[in-house]
Amino acid sequence: MTGFSVSLFVSNLSNVASYLSPIFENIPSTKVVPAQIDKVVSLVSRTGRDLQRYDNAGYRQVVGCVPYRYKKQEVNGIETQEIQVLLVSAQKGKGMLFPKGGWETDESMEEAALRETIEEAGVTGELEEKLGKWQYKSKRHSIIHDGYMFALLVSQEFERWPEAEMRQRRWVSLDEAREVCQNWWMREALEAFINLKCLADDDESGN
Q: Looking at residue 141, what is its pLDDT?
A: 74
Return d(Cα 151, Cα 190) in angstroms, integer: 9
Look up the pTM and report it: 0.75
Q: Looking at residue 79, what is its pLDDT?
A: 86
Strand pairing report for 144-157 and 60-75: parallel
Per DSSP, 33 falls in state P
Q: Which regions in the chain score pLDDT beneath 50?
A: 1-39, 42
